[in-house]
Amino acid sequence: MRTAIVSAMHEELASVLALLPDEHKVTVAGRDFYDGHLHGREVVAVLSRIGKVAAATTATLLIERFRVDRIVFTGVAGGLAPAVQRGDVVVADAFLQHDLDASPIFPRWEVPLYGTDRFATDAALTGELAAAVARALPGTRVHRGLVVSGDRFVATSAESRLLQQALPDALAVEMEGAAIAQVCRDFGVPFAAVRTVSDRAGDAAAGDFVSFIREVASRHSAAIVQALLAR
Ligand code: ADE
């Protein structure tokens, strides 16, 4: 069983790499993949890169070149639903691309030829990940539900409000998850994702994001990955 651990930020990847005693680097398509072990289990750790196209390419390489059996994403997101506050954790049950719109040919958000606008994460792996979050970060508020992805850093209250109105069940927004979920669906590879809320996707988002990445995100990623693979 080979597990891919994917992050979007260098700080998060570095904290995961610090847990691997024996990794070696393989560079493909400009991406550094770190092949190694954690608690005796095979892992491949890599940066997704940022945005949906980059993340889809990384996921495809993980599956086709590195033969991973499952993909786990750890990262940060902007909170959308009012209850989802900075420092909370969101475990994704499904992903949607909020910036995909082929209407009127297809319904808004529907991914053409898939007949759906949402890709569910793997229920069993998502359950394991949620349990790992509870062990790794006791006392942290954890939400489960829809996470939306798009090629935009949402950094104004106006845009955040529009997203909440359009997609009221969206808990959080980020830039990669829906792409990886779609690739995993194509290949039949289980996918799960956890996102710590770094900002509220409003006017303070950029500053909040930068300080959160520096202070919290890497600790969270390492603790969650450690707890997931310790079993
Ligand atoms: N990742 C973290 N915060 C985000 C935001 N506000 N918009 C998009 N992706 C994010």
Q: CATH number for the domain including 200?
A: 3.40.50.1580
Mean pLDDT score across all residues of the chain: 95
Give the ligand 1 atom nearest the CA of 154. Answer: 7
End-to-end alpha carbon distance in the chain: 13
What's the total number of domains in the chain?
1
CA–CA dist 117, 108 (Å, integer) = 8
- CB 130 within 8 Å of CB 123: no
Catalytic member of 174, 199, 203, 215: 199
pLDDT at 40 over 80: yes
CA–CA dist 126, 52 (Å, integer) = 21
- CB 143 within 8 Å of CB 77: no
pLDDT at 215 over 90: no
CA of 76 to the centre of ligand 1 (A): 7
Q: Does residue 215 or residue 189 have the better pLDDT?
A: 189
pLDDT of residue 51: 97
147: Cβ below 6 Å to ligand 1? no
Instruction: Give yes or no for a cis peptide into 104 (omega within 30° of 0).
Output: yes
Catalytic member of 12, 88, 110, 117: 12
Q: What is the mean pLDDT of residues 21-36?
A: 96
pLDDT of residue 96: 98
Is 32 assigned a catalytic role?
A: no
What amino acid is encoded at 27 in this protein?
T
Neighbour tally for 190: CB within 10 Å:
18
208: Cβ below 6 Å to ligand 1? no
pLDDT tens digits for range 80-130: 999 999 999 999 999 999 999 999 999 999 999 999 999 999 999 999 999
pLDDT at 231 over 80: no
109: Cβ below 6 Å to ligand 1? no
pLDDT bucket at 214, cuts 50 / 70 / 90 = confident
CA–CA dist 77, 190 (Å, integer) = 21
Most confident listed range (6-10, 16-20, 105-109, 200-204): 105-109
Q: β-pairing, 24-28 with 31-38?
A: antiparallel
Residue range of the domain that includes 35: 2-229
Distances (CA, A) of 136 to 67, 68, 180: 28, 24, 24
CA–CA dist 38, 177 (Å, integer) = 23
pLDDT bucket at 219, cuts 50 / 70 / 90 = confident
pLDDT of residue 162: 97
Neighbour tally for 179: CB within 10 Å:
25
pLDDT bucket at 218, cuts 50 / 70 / 90 = confident
Q: Cα 18 vs. chain centroid, distance in angstroms?
A: 20
Percent of the chain exceeding pLDDT 70 equals: 100
Q: Report the predicted TM-score, pTM, of the whole model to 2 decimal places.
A: 0.96
pLDDT tens digits for range 191-213: 999 999 999 999 889 988 888 88
Q: What is the mean pLDDT of residues 137-159?
A: 96
Is 12 assigned a catalytic role?
A: yes
Residue of the CA atom closest to atom 6 of ligand 1: 201
pLDDT tens digits for range 43-92: 999 999 999 999 999 999 999 999 999 999 999 999 999 999 999 999 99
DSSP letter at 39 equals T
